[in-house]
Amino acid sequence: MVPSETSAGRRRFLKLLAASPLLAYPGLSPRWMEAIGRAQEDAVISSVREALDVFDFETVARKNLLPEHWAYLATGVDDDSTIRANREGFTRYQLRMRPLADFSKLDMSIQLFGTKWNTPIVLCPVASLKGFHTEGEKGVARAAKAKGVLQALSTMTSTPVEEVNKERGEPVWYQLYARDQWSETLKMVKRVEAAGCPALLWTVDLLGGSNRETFRRAQPREGVRAPLCKNCHEGLKKPMYAGLAEQAGGEGGGTTVFTWDDIKRLKDTTQMKLLVKGIQTREDAELAIAHGVDGIVVSNHGGRAGASGRATIESLPEIATGVGRRIPIILDSGIRRGTDIFKALALGATAVGIGRAYVFGLAAFGQEGVEAVLDILRRELQMVMRQTGATSVAKITRASLVDRFDAIPSPASSHSSGNR
């Protein structure tokens, strides 16, 4: 075994040791506790080649980031229970394995608004990516280009959309936070449209505000940033707000009330495809279609918006039924595994979005880390498609899943209208 493999193996062992139930044993000596603490530190991978899953990058990201920046990335709302629900929701659905399928030709591609993508993975909009790595949005754009995946840019980007598009080699999708003054919103929309962006994601799940306790607890007690953090934030101006009037409120908008009438109002002002991001119920999915949207994103902002306590994967079936495959559905919040992607597709999603997962890779190793995260998720999805006999994304159906809360379905009853 070469030295690097020996080192990686040792870290794996120490990582398992650090997670051992022995940690809960009251008679464990202080010396053992110190050793396990060192084991947790030693378990951090030192290169992308050592990573076995997405969670390996999370550990490095937490080590690399300033505490305040980590808290922003990690926070949910209230007690963070909706973040936990997003992950736990995937365990509700079990896979029905179907061996002996001919998977020699496996098609993982999808079509969105006439464009073909290599995988059903979308890089979700995440604010201020330069706060996680100096390569920021440009590094993510290069990774998206290398892997042939769709990228969406946040209104709160630390890099102008024009520069990101140039780095990506083609226009990205753009995520919109509406401004208090509609005229200011339209200025931003027209700028994005002029940059060539083909689709606009209006995020609506933060219009009511959000209570991010984990992030707030990480703030300096007297409201004064440490010099390093202050210097960092001085360089994180919001370039998409250049030339716009200031407004109260932060991420998500200000104090103006928006309603479904504003969906049509926005759609009438642009030729870009309009998707509404933050849909969590069948009723709102049907309203979205009635108001002419081109697609929806099933999302609770990664557990950062309302404290619903409900996983998006559990919201998806009712939404897919309401949509009835009339428009694309993208699901985000909590995706960490290829099996998560498969389950979302089986329940009716057209594609899935990842946010924290690729930011872990960015914070850990820059562009290389983002590419590695995409490779791991693609490899995991490919494996589960082979195991279930689904040789293309179109063949991933509800028949491949069992809902633990329901009786075991028969193959004939496993297909419902609205789900693939």
- What is the pLDDT at residue 248? 64
What one-character-per-residue DSSP string does 183-234 give?
Answer: HHHHHHHHHHHHTT--EEEEE-TTTT----HHHHHTS-TTS---HHHHHHHH
- What is the pLDDT at residue 394? 95
Q: Please give the structure tokens belonging to residue 52.
A: 């076995």
- What is the pLDDT at residue 178? 92
In this structure, the strands spanning 93-95 and 401-403 are antiparallel
Determine whether 301 is an active site residue. Answer: yes
Residue closest to 206 by CA, chosen among 239, 242, 175: 175
Distance CA 66, CA 327 (A): 41
- What is the pLDDT at residue 205? 87
- What is the pLDDT at residue 249? 59
Distance CA 420, CA 411 (A): 13
- Mean pLDDT, each 10-residue run in order, the chain (420 residues): 46 52 52 52 86 97 94 87 94 96 95 96 97 97 98 97 98 95 95 98 86 80 52 65 79 77 94 97 97 97 87 97 97 97 98 98 98 98 97 96 77 45
pTM, rounded to two decimals? 0.85
Query: Residue 239, Cβ neighbours under 10 Å: how many?
Result: 14
CB 329 within 8 A of CB 319: yes
- What is the pLDDT at residue 376? 98
| Catalytic one of 69, 133, 291, 301 | 301
